[in-house]
Chain A
């Protein structure tokens, strides 16, 4: 496999891991923190060690590590928009599983994010263009 194709393949796999782990991690955190009070240290610790929050933290550690790996070969200005698909996934999950309101404006926003992601994604992950 030539270097350019290898980097593109690797970038797609890691982008998928980054997006999925971030969306699921945020969702688990939101489920765990919903209607919870964290006014005292005891309540805060109880929140951190609740099952949903633990799942969220594990997924966000996976997100952090996979994103670090992605940043070792791809530019930050490429990684940011391309992984913004996570915002769309979170809006959808909020609507489907947490019964949050998704207005037409939010759907329009979702489409713009997808458009921006596609726009950046068809370029090279490396700004120097030497891969």
Chain B
């Protein structure tokens, strides 16, 4: 029971964190500079984005739930089971982020989701 609660907490916070992170990174635009000064500038700009801060908070919740989950379950169960997020996030990518999710992506996401269910057996 504790494992399933932790898993639900992890999935919920990951979905929220990923959608917020993607939303804010899209607003920021493509990162083009990867030298130390460029990375520093990008991080300084990103540190002021409210949704990104919220996303990182959600990811921290997800991380601690995952870490606690690993105490009692196998890595080869915990990681695949967390991929339930993929289904929710693909739907939210279409509905909230207005991404054009073509048939190739839907099929790919479904294949991955089926694979994850089998991995969790």
Chain A residues within 8 Å of B, Cβ to Cβ? 26-27, 29-30, 33-34, 36-38, 47, 53, 60, 64, 67-69, 71-73, 75-81, 84, 86-87, 90-91, 93-95, 98, 100-103, 105-106, 108-117, 119-120, 122-123, 127-129
Contacts and interface: CB of A to CB of B under 8 A. Distances in A.
9 contacts: A33-B71, A60-B63, A77-B93, A80-B85, A81-B108, A90-B79, A105-B119, A119-B108, A127-B105
Contacts of B79: 26, 86-87, 90-91
Contact of A113 (B66, B78, B99, B111): B111
Interface string B73-107: 01110111001011001100110010111101101
B110 interface: yes
Contact of B21 (A68, A81, A109): A68
Contacts of A80: 18, 85-86, 89-90, 93, 109, 112
Contacts of B109: 77, 80-81, 116, 120
B10 interface: no
A94 B1 CA distance: 23
B22 to A, nearest CB: 4
Taking chain B's interface residues, is the majority helix, strand, or loop, or is none over half, making it mixed? helix
Interface string B22-44: 10011011110000000000000
B114 A123 contact: no
A111 B115 contact: yes
Contacts of A116: 107-113, 115
A108 to B, nearest CB: 5
A73 B118 contact: no
Given A112-B115, A116-B108, 15 more contacts: A30-B78, A64-B56, A80-B112, A81-B112, A87-B116, A91-B76, A98-B74, A101-B76, A108-B115, A109-B114, A111-B115, A119-B104, A120-B104, A120-B109, A127-B101
Contacts of A38: 68, 71
A110 B119 contact: yes
